[in-house]
Structure 1
Amino acid sequence: MSGPGQKADLLWRAQAYVAAAQIHLQDNVLLRRPLGPGHVKARPAGHWGTVPGTAWALAHVALLSGTGDAELVPLLGAGHAGVAQIAAGWLTGHLVAARPQFTRDEQGLVNLCRSFPEVAGLGSEVTPALPAGDFLGGRLGGCLPFAQGAALASSPGRVIVPVLGDGECETPTTAAAWLAAHALPGTPVLPIVHLNGFRMGAPSLLADLTEQALTAYAAGLGWHARTVTVPDDGHEAFHTELAQGVADTLAGRRTVLFMRCVKGWSGPAAVNGQQVLGTARAHKTPLTRAACDSAQTYALEGWLSSYRPQELFTDGGHPGPGLAASLAATAWPRLTGPRRAPLPRATGQQQPVSFADAVATVVRAHARAGDFRVFSPDELASNRLSELAGQAWTTEVLAEEVLGEQLAGFNAAGGRGVLISYEAFAPLLATGIISLLKQQRMPGAAPRPSFNLLLTSYGWQNTYTH
């Protein structure tokens, strides 16, 4: 293995090692001596199953972005992928920038392992304080339309790369977003769908499709599918597929990369006679008694040793030469766009004669600035706002949840906009808005333009159907 494949392997092994160590260890974090019960947490907490595939995807996205040929912005759709995100943040130094106690050395890793899952207020799931955290992963199903909205405000050469779980693809928001891409031609979004075969507690539906059926499913929705199996196809093959997917996306071809990866891969295959690898038992840590069960302690040591940490880190816990060079070759861009000065309020010489006239006057004034969009569920004409329909800065899709995420993503990339919908349909937006408000209150969340919502049709007597 050479070139990007070798670098990706070092990055992947380091992320997987740090993630597993966070969950399980409180001492001897570099395995410089045999693992003993006092080194292991009595109650390990965290989600392991999605880490191997997520870390693999992040390593390659960061390396490809580091070449400078394209700027790739990763987003994590699964909140439980936060373990891998935090591991990557510690390795790159982004975590120590947010929390100075987590230095990139042995003591910093000890501090991180002992702090996890609290992580000094950042928590154990996807956090906006670190790269790949611009979308709050707990909002299950919203990452794909969020990425579409962010891509509307992207600069040339930038591609938004949402990493989605196969369970997410069963949600109505994600399912509708594949079609919604047709309303946003030319938006550079390259989804990586992580097919590990399981939701949190049961088999997923999408991963059960054959290769032919999976490709046909994507094609029927207007997407070209590329498929790679991890680790069988290897780092070089994955990197090649990702690079071609980026090129196709920038050329205007809607492309999705399906990444098959057994749930919990590289972790314990079985524990206490029960199969773990490739089952729902791999979702959280399979080794819950490693502090008091010698067989599990031995299994944990073998698991951690399989990543060959002595090749990754110096005696002091700093990245070794190979890992340091790999980290230096990566780039981790964020969505946050430039902030424009507030626009002056639109003033008119004559009083608006109607609600529609008032709304259209204000919206047109903002749209002229070039960073403003209207999102509406195909109801502009019905809402007496037909003057706004069909504009280049208007998106109409009959799915409030999708539009809400698109507006949130557009905001995250620095754009401003408004979602116009019937008052009767507003509850469909409630979960997404509440989650968005939670994210904005989390440590490290960047300021964003306001999320504007205009509700119409108050008092209409159509409650039986609406």
Structure 2
Amino acid sequence: MPCTPQVLATVDAYWRAANYLSVGQMYLRDNPLLRRPLRPTDLKPTLLGHWGTVPGQTFIYTHLNRAIVAHDLDVLYVSGPGHGGQAMVACAYLEGTYSEVYPAIGQDEEGLRRLFTQYSYPGGIPSHVSPECPGSIHEGGELGYSLSHSFGAAFDNPDLIVACVIGDGEAETGPLATSWHGNKFLNPITDGAVLPILHLNGYKIANPTLLARISEQELHDLLRGYGYMPYFVEGHDPDTMHRKMADTLDLVIHQIRDVQQYARAHNDPSRPPWPMIVLRTPKGWTGPVTVDGKPSTGSFRAHQVPIQVEPARYDQLEHLEGWLRSYRPQDLFDRSGRLRPELAELAPTGTRRMSANPHANGGRLLKPLRIPDYREYGVAVPTPGGVRAADTHVLGAFLRDIVRENEAARNFRIFAPDELLSNRLSPVFEVTERQWMLRREMHDEHLAPDGRVVEMLSEHQCQGWLEGYLLTGRHGLFTSYEAFIHIVDSMVSQHAKWLKVTAELIWRAPIASLNYLLASHVWQQAHNGFTHQDPGFIDHVVNKKASVVRVYLPPDANCLLSVWDHCQRSMHYINVVVAGKYQAPQWLTIDQAADHCARGIGVWPWASCSPDVEPDLIMACCGDVPTRETLAAVSILRTALPELKVRVINVVDLMKLQSPSVHPHGLPDDVFDDLFTTDKPIIFAFHGYPFLIHRLCYRRTNHANLHVHGYREEGTITTPFDMTVLNEIDRFHLVRNALKRLPDRGEAGDELDLHMTEKLIQHRRHIRTHGVDMPEIRNWSWTSVAQPTTL
């Protein structure tokens, strides 16, 4: 489609139609085509929304439509400026996709009325680009993630161009500033292209934006420094701007294609200076120039609803009507309310429409992973605690072969902030490398232009990349230090909301789960100290919708294998798995682990009294280190008090503790009571903050007898065992607490209590003198001590 004056006139008319629909969504619930003069009853009772970014976004969208048709492109549109979601809704409606997804909102006057009414209205749709909008993969509420989502979408999508509109307010966020570096990881042979379009309209809610106020030379140098070739499209006259934008889009598309064709023809993955566009337009472009005698267009006042029409200000109705009629709706829509055919022809058809692009509904493109049998990677465990292994290193071999099995499909990646090796997943590098497009030096390791691992020291970037990868129909995982995954708390909240809403939309297909592997956890950070000790991500995730979140704390390598196999096969969840990376006792055979993880919680009979007797004490544990310390405490109790009947319960699936009325994994009350009894003391050693266990169990019958040990914000540079002592989750404190809850512990119990106190003193003296834990701690192993079935 050559850019003739006639084509550009059509572009302008289409743009006016998108703007008209965008203004109508903010204001109207009746009279959508202005068949008669506006009345107060035509307006919504409460006017909500954001206008300032809209005309720039509709301008970009309209021009991309022309370019898609002219160059036969596959383009995904990512809207980063946040609010102004009516722009993308309007464009999806004009393309016909919206009516296909929501048949009640048809291509006629009644459909327009419903389209307008639903926006920012009870029972309707949000004011930002939301999951309800066809073509969207990016929630517009919180700013900063559009560009990392776009690069994630482009990985392994060689024919896709992701047009990412970046608001100049969004560009001030830390995550966005970091995400410019995504171009250092994009391979022009195997990946698609990202076309950043930095939209400078000058203002945020009430302040100027930084990038709009620096000089053009400084902005050019900044973007060139990031590795882009920026092209500036600036102005306010529509006729001139249409020509500039069309010519610039044609130019950058040719450059993208030239880069890719050369790279693929010559097998040359060298990093090019990828093109980008800087679009500078007035904020609220085409809106009212002034309102109440103050500037609107081109100022911060255009950010939200420029003209407030309310009972006390119905004199503004005439100004609103003048604004709406300035788009000449009678020239854009026919008598039935449908966009005129000659204008509709501007848009692509079928799946070339950005609002119908299959990548924006990635679940429809999703192919199952090829996953080997995890049992083949299991650790041989002849007796409980009889061997030691590093749990995540064992998992690394399993992940290695998942990478290998799916290499040809190119639909699985691992993202990490420079922590894959630290988290003991080195076997992965036996079959792949880190994807890296910059200079390599002779001492570098595992760097290549094409790899299944993407590492950058930014949790925001890794999270955004993985989200974009999953949302466009692929699989992956994110591994990080447990303490620093908090950096993406807000991002995981947004993704959880996306999953919750999309699960309720029948036209959206489920996507692969977002899987977190958190290693280097709180109990394995003795050498790094207090700053690296924080298990609170679990608390954060548990607050999210029960239909979305799952939390697993496998006690050993075989359980980790079983859990990870389940998580990697699951759909539409956020799975958090916390695992150890150091050598530790292994408790269950692979078959026992499979059964235990399938149940999510259970009694360990080899560590417990006979199942046909009532226990005196419940010792429960959740997490690898709490499990070790609980079993060590049980061993002490059974040796000193052989008549004490102890039941050991291990929890893998944390959500089993909740009531089934709260979480679908929750145990029924009668099953929970059978496990934990209704009146016996429970000493619970937990990986994280102890209050979380109380929150999960507060409805249970025996909650009053529940005593939880966990992380208490005590830490320093110390020994591994001393970390448990500082937080009173160690075996000695567990034994003392158990004795405190036993009413008839007798003289032997008193002696044991005193012995535990002495052990704590001995421990402290030993580590201060020798710098390591006592030999009995370092060399401890589980030994079975028979318990009588009756007193």
Distance 1:383 1:41, change over 3 A: closer
Q: How does 1:74-223 map to 2 (within 5 A)?
A: 74-118=77-121, 120-154=123-157, 156-186=158-188, 187=191, 188-223=193-228
Choose 50-59 or 201-210, whichever is displaced more: 201-210
- Work out whether 1:10 is the aligned partner of 2:13: yes
Q: Distance in 1 between matches of 2:94 and 2:377?
A: 60
Q: Distance in 1 between matches of 2:203 and 2:459?
A: 28
1:63 Cα shift? 2.4
Q: Distance in 2 between matches of 1:191 and 1:413?
A: 18
Aligned residue identity for 2:466: L
Q: Distance in 2 between matches of 1:406 and 1:412?
A: 10
**Contact 1:147–1:409 at 8 Å: present in 2 too?**
yes
**Contact 2:206–2:300 at 8 Å: present in 1 too?**
yes
1:350 Cα shift? 6.1
Aligned residue identity for 1:243: D
**Contact 1:131–1:334 at 8 Å: present in 2 too?**
no
1:220 Cα shift? 0.9
Q: Distance in 1 between matches of 2:337 and 2:310?
A: 23
Q: Which residue in the other structure is 1:404 paired with? A: 463
Distance 1:367 1:4, change over 3 A: farther
SS in 2 for 1:395: strand
- Work out whether 1:422 is the aligned partner of 2:481: yes
Q: How does 1:26-425 map to 2 (within 5 A)?
A: 26-118=29-121, 120-154=123-157, 156-186=158-188, 187=191, 188-232=193-237, 233-250=240-257, 251=259, 252-289=272-309, 293-327=313-347, 331-332=353-354, 333-335=357-359, 336=362, 338-347=365-374, 349=376, 351-352=378-379, 353-368=389-404, 369-370=406-407, 371-388=411-428, 390-391=433-434, 392-425=451-484
Q: Distance in 1 between matches of 2:25 and 2:88?
A: 12
1:239 Cα shift? 1.6
**Contact 1:262–1:277 at 8 Å: present in 2 too?**
yes
- Work out whether 1:450 is the aligned partner of 2:513: yes
1:24 pairs, out of 27, 36, 51, with 27
**Contact 1:53–1:261 at 8 Å: present in 2 too?**
yes
1:325 Cα shift? 2.2
SS in 2 for 1:128: coil
Gaps of 5+ in 1: none
Aligned length, in residue pairs: 465
Choose 74-83 or 28-37, whichever is displaced more: 28-37
Q: Distance in 2 between matches of 1:350 and 1:205?
A: 53
List per-residue Cα deviations over 1:77-131 (Å, max 9, x = no partner): 1331311111112222222223222111111111222232238543332122334
1:294 Cα shift? 5.0
List per-residue Cα deviations over 1:221-258 (Å, max 9, x = no partner): 11110110254442122022122222323415422211
List per-residue Cα deviations over 1:285-335 (Å, max 9, x = no partner): 111126653541121111111111111011221112332222356722241
Q: Distance in 1 between matches of 2:481 and 2:139?
A: 26
**Contact 1:40–1:291 at 8 Å: present in 2 too?**
no
Q: Distance in 1 between matches of 2:68 and 2:209?
A: 30
Q: Distance in 2 between matches of 1:65 and 1:171?
A: 31
**Contact 2:477–2:514 at 8 Å: present in 1 too?**
yes
Distance 1:395 1:41, change over 3 A: same
1:57 Cα shift? 0.7
Which of these two proteins has the greater Rg computed from alpha carbons?
A: 2
Q: Distance in 2 between matches of 1:287 and 1:350?
A: 66
Distance 1:410 1:78, change over 3 A: same
Distance 1:29 1:291, change over 3 A: farther
Choose 381-390 or 400-409, whichever is displaced more: 381-390
**Contact 2:95–2:353 at 8 Å: present in 1 too?**
no
Distance 1:342 1:223, change over 3 A: closer
Q: Distance in 1 between matches of 2:159 and 2:348?
A: 21
List per-residue Cα deviations over 1:117-150 (Å, max 9, x = no partner): 2385433321223344111122310110111011
Aligned residue identity for 1:50: T
List per-residue Cα deviations over 1:432-452 (Å, max 9, x = no partner): 111001011224443111111
**Contact 1:159–1:189 at 8 Å: present in 2 too?**
yes
Q: Distance in 2 between matches of 1:342 and 1:281?
A: 50
SS in 1 for 2:309: coil
1:342 Cα shift? 4.4
**Contact 2:33–2:337 at 8 Å: present in 1 too?**
yes
Aligned residue identity for 2:217: Q
**Contact 2:94–2:344 at 8 Å: present in 1 too?**
no
Distance 1:244 1:264, change over 3 A: same
Q: Distance in 2 between matches of 1:372 and 1:42?
A: 49
SS in 2 for 1:81: coil
Larger relative contact order (C-alpha < 8 A, sep ≥ 6)? 1
**Contact 2:367–2:474 at 8 Å: present in 1 too?**
no
1:267 Cα shift? 0.7
1:355 Cα shift? 2.9
Q: Distance in 2 between matches of 1:190 and 1:58?
A: 13
Aligned residue identity for 2:400: R
List per-residue Cα deviations over 1:375-415 (Å, max 9, x = no partner): 11112232233444534111110000110010010111222
Q: Distance in 2 between matches of 1:171 and 1:309?
A: 38
SS in 2 for 1:73: strand
Aligned residue identity for 1:447: P
1:464 Cα shift? 3.6
Distance 1:341 1:388, change over 3 A: closer
Distance 1:11 1:464, change over 3 A: same
**Contact 1:312–1:322 at 8 Å: present in 2 too?**
no
Q: Distance in 2 between matches of 1:189 and 1:360?
A: 31
SS in 1 for 2:166: strand
Q: Distance in 1 between matches of 2:169 and 2:225?
A: 20
Q: Distance in 2 between matches of 1:218 and 1:9?
A: 30
List per-residue Cα deviations over 1:40-83 (Å, max 9, x = no partner): 33422111111100110111122222335321110111331311
Q: Which residue in the other structure is 2:727 paired with? A: none
**Contact 2:396–2:425 at 8 Å: present in 1 too?**
yes
Aligned residue identity for 1:306: S
Q: Distance in 2 between matches of 1:253 and 1:465?
A: 39
Q: Distance in 2 between matches of 1:4 and 1:239?
A: 10
Choose 383-392 or 449-458, whichever is displaced more: 383-392
Q: Distance in 2 between matches of 1:396 and 1:328?
A: 37
Q: Distance in 2 between matches of 1:127 and 1:397?
A: 28
Choose 236-245 or 256-265, whichever is displaced more: 236-245
TM, length-normalised to structure 2 = 0.56
SS in 2 for 1:293: helix
**Contact 1:183–1:396 at 8 Å: present in 2 too?**
no
Distance 1:90 1:64, change over 3 A: same
1:199 Cα shift? 1.4
Alignment RMSD? 2.2
